[in-house]
Amino acid sequence: MRRALIVLSALLFSAVGAKAGVWETTCSGCHNGVVAPTKETLLSKFKTRREFMAAVREAVSKGKMPPGLKYGMAARELFGMAKRGGKQVSPTSSSQGKVTGDPYAKYKRFFEPLPALPPIPADNPLTPEKVQLGKMLYYDPRLSRSKIISCNTCHNLSLGGDDNVKTSLGDHWRTGGRNAPTTLNSGFLRVQFWDGRAPTLEAQAKGPIQAHVEMNSTPEIVVRRLKAIPEYVELFKKAFPGEKDPVTFENVAKAIAAFERTLNTPNSPFQRYLLGDSNALTKEQKEGMALFVKYGCIACHSGPVFSDGRFHKFKWNNDLGRYRVTKNPADKYKFRTPQLLNVAVTAPYFHDGSVNSLEEAVKIMAQKELGKKLTGEEAKKIADFLRSLTGEVPLEARLLPQLPGNNPE
Amino acid sequence: MRRALIVLSALLFSAVGAKAGVWETTCSGCHNGVVAPTKETLLSKFKTRREFMAAVREAVSKGKMPPGLKYGMAARELFGMAKRGGKQVSPTSSSQGKVTGDPYAKYKRFFEPLPALPPIPADNPLTPEKVQLGKMLYYDPRLSRSKIISCNTCHNLSLGGDDNVKTSLGDHWRTGGRNAPTTLNSGFLRVQFWDGRAPTLEAQAKGPIQAHVEMNSTPEIVVRRLKAIPEYVELFKKAFPGEKDPVTFENVAKAIAAFERTLNTPNSPFQRYLLGDSNALTKEQKEGMALFVKYGCIACHSGPVFSDGRFHKFKWNNDLGRYRVTKNPADKYKFRTPQLLNVAVTAPYFHDGSVNSLEEAVKIMAQKELGKKLTGEEAKKIADFLRSLTGEVPLEARLLPQLPGNNPE
């Protein structure tokens, strides 16, 4: 169905003939003479498309440019047409005038609708029993040493999957240095945590349960408490059939990860817009969408959750980011691109939660990452567009489980 | 419907002729020579039913005996029959032998099924808009100073409406001296808090929001934050129509109280048993129910939520209880009878949460309040009976609301 819709919208797109240049809508965001060389510089440096593409491939392989963008199309725009007809294709020569109805529809092709589910790892298949168990564990504060803090305390499904404070408060009112990211749609992220220190949701789930400043528990405490509750033992057996001793910390993480892979938020106005409802966005939001593409925000905030899953430099405070994981000096101040779905309900922003206003966050990002000084109006339009990314948290996930009785300890 | 069922069961009851003596099943629990004089002592002290009833009324008016029990029936058993026929009615003369089917059915009349709703105060009518707003406030941690603690943190609707720890952890990891009572069915309680310091749920709701060791907020903080969220302002207008400035601390408490009056738990096995499903309890639970009546637990744990709403002495630790509110020396160590619905999922027990096991709590109560030393088997049967009081938390209350976006402060 989804595929059919995409094909259909692609056909419609080519039928109306709308075509915005890839260079203008994607590359120019970074290639503005501040972050990366301008089009003119590149044209004077590279003589052929082949030369240009070789340089692109090298830059991508070294992580200097994001992978997966439409480089071939951009190269044809810069070199291909010139080679054949001697005439540079200008982005303004796109057939915008011919578009009937929604003049912003041409930007849709830079985005991807959110699939129903993220990739499911082969070693942790999704089953109803596992998701149900994972949901109970997600909401159960007895996983924490104090028996007061659950996953949902900091990743509150009433509040966009996070806690809306600068940095979360954990065991003994301790606080970590980074803002809690939302668990919503987190299954679509290529790596977990701001510094990407966990490759999977399974690995991620084990972190906060044990972190001194968060739940401050241990695998031993967790397993001992769960084994003391007969209902849980039974549920683990059902979720992990065939295992002799299924109540393990490993399986706790697997069940929570399975539940988290269901925390996807369809039906956002933007999702509805992408799938054909051209009235789902306001005019301001459509203008914001166009700016988001034109100014190059999309270079990093790409894909179904608006994150390339890569690490980019953002020197903001003393947090060394990815470097703390890899010890590679090139990774200093690098952070994984955060997703943008539900960003309107997950303030405050940045890895330290230091900015409360979405408009301000947009302005800072444009300035620091793209070398662009946005006007207040531009920032507001982009923020308005981002507000259209708020989707629906599944009812089933929001229905508080009835947890089994108290453990005796 | 409910009334019809009660009438029906009363008719059925009289039809089968089962009749357990009120004295044996209710009065003897306290009148055991330890807590209060035995039947023999009373018969030697009072010569007529009139004399006896005058003493009862005086004792009730002074708070020495719980009100609302079947004193008239007990008096007829002790004096009335003797007057007419010169023959003492013996409790063992009840026509137990004639009962067909469920021999424990005769105990049903000492209990009341849980109504759908508790009394609704005239100055805070229940409306869907108010309940919906109250639910959002109940789940919203931004009512607390830290923005981390919501009503649901300590009155967790996943965990029987409390937090299952000895004493709750509040702002800056502070802790109070008393165990959090469940919010479930709390609308049926005549007074709120262990010491009854709040007469209504409205008055109660204001306490924890402001308590230093709990949410540590102020009416000013709460109102300022809510007024900064346009969606909330709109919802207050709808919940309190006609009010000029509806976002007040008073109305916050009213909305939360309205929501709490919907947190009633029907369909417990015992409720189903009372309403006619004689297989809803196990044999052990029925035996526990009989012991609960015979041993006099029901003298205080009476009514639809198993609480008379009165204060009774329970000298357990240094907590002076009701005295801290009234400064009346007679109130030292007195606490409001806790309700027993959902008691199986609201450990630990007593006002200080010092006892984890339901069996142990039953034993201690029997010993200290009724002067009875229960065998392990008896305690287990009563605990099993109490486990049949776990009902269903309404789905609508358990469905996490989607709270409006962040406030800017």
Question: pLDDT for A149-174, tens place per residue?
Answer: 999 999 999 999 999 999 999 999 99
The answer to whether the Cβ–Cβ distance between B158 and A400 falls below 8 Å is yes
What gap in Å lies between CA B309 and CA B269, rounded to an integer? 23
Q: What are the DSSP E strand ranges found in A316-401?
A: 334-336
What phi-psi label fits residue B342: left (phi over 0), alpha (psi between -120 and 50 degrees) or beta?
A: left
Considering only CB atoms, A147 lies closest to which of B164, B402, B408, namely B164
pLDDT of residue B364: 98
What lies within 8 Å, CB to CB, of B84 at 6+ separation is none
Nearest to B206 by CA among B249, B246, B239, B163: B249
pLDDT of residue A63: 63
What lies within 8 Å, CB to CB, of A149 at 6+ separation is A141, A170, A171, A214, A215
Considering only CB atoms, A173 lies closest to which of B139, B172, B347, namely B172
pLDDT < 50 regions, chain B = 1-19, 82-99
C-alpha distances out from residue B243 to A67, B202, B224, B388, Å: 58, 18, 18, 44
The tokens for A249 are 């910390």
pLDDT of residue B305: 97
What gap in Å lies between CA B306 and CA B298, rounded to an integer? 7
How many other C-beta atoms are found inside a 10 Å radius of the C-beta of residue B365? 22
Q: What are the DSSP E strand ranges found in B67-184?
A: none
Helix (H) or strand (E) holding A312: strand A311-313
The answer to whether the Cβ–Cβ distance between A399 and B398 falls below 8 Å is yes
Please give the span between the terminal C-alpha atoms of chain A, in angstroms, as a whole number. Answer: 51
3-class secondary structure, A156: coil
pLDDT of residue B21: 73
Each residue's pLDDT, cut to its tens digit, for chain A (409 residues) gives 444 443 333 333 333 334 457 776 667 666 766 567 888 889 888 988 888 889 988 887 776 776 667 788 888 888 875 444 444 444 333 333 344 589 999 999 999 999 999 999 999 999 999 999 999 999 999 999 999 999 999 999 999 999 999 999 999 999 999 999 999 999 999 999 999 999 999 999 999 999 999 999 999 999 999 999 999 999 999 999 999 999 999 999 999 999 999 999 999 999 999 999 999 999 999 999 999 999 999 999 999 999 999 999 999 999 999 999 999 999 999 999 999 999 999 999 999 999 999 999 999 999 999 999 999 999 999 999 999 999 999 999 999 999 998 766 6
The length of chain A is 409
β-partners of residue A192 are A198
C-alpha distances out from residue B398 to A353, A397, A399, B157, B367, Å: 30, 11, 6, 7, 38
pLDDT of residue A66: 67
Rg (C-alpha) for chain A, rounded Å, is: 23
pLDDT of residue A287: 98
Cis peptide before A37 (omega within 30 of 0): no
The tokens for B195 are 């010491």
Contact list in A for residue B348 (CB cut-off 8 A) is 406
Let me know: does B178 contact B328? Beta carbons within 8 Å. no
What lies within 8 Å, CB to CB, of A291 at 6+ separation is A297, A378, A381, A382, A385
What lies within 8 Å, CB to CB, of B230 at 6+ separation is B404
Q: How far is B364 from chain A (nearest CA, A)?
A: 17
Does any CB of chain B come closer than 8 Å to the CB of residue A344? yes
Rg (C-alpha) for chain B, rounded Å, is: 23
The tokens for A287 are 């203008």
Contact list in A for residue B158 (CB cut-off 8 A) is 139-140, 400-403
Contact list in A for residue B345 (CB cut-off 8 A) is 405-406
Considering only CB atoms, A405 lies closest to which of B141, B345, B406, namely B345
Look up residue A381 and give its DSSP letter.
H
Q: Which domains does chain A have, with CATH numbers?
A: 2-89 (no CATH), 128-264 (1.10.760.10), 269-387 (1.10.760.10)
pLDDT of residue A237: 98
**Does the ipTM exceed 0.95?**
no
Does any CB of chain A come closer than 8 Å to the CB of residue B123? no
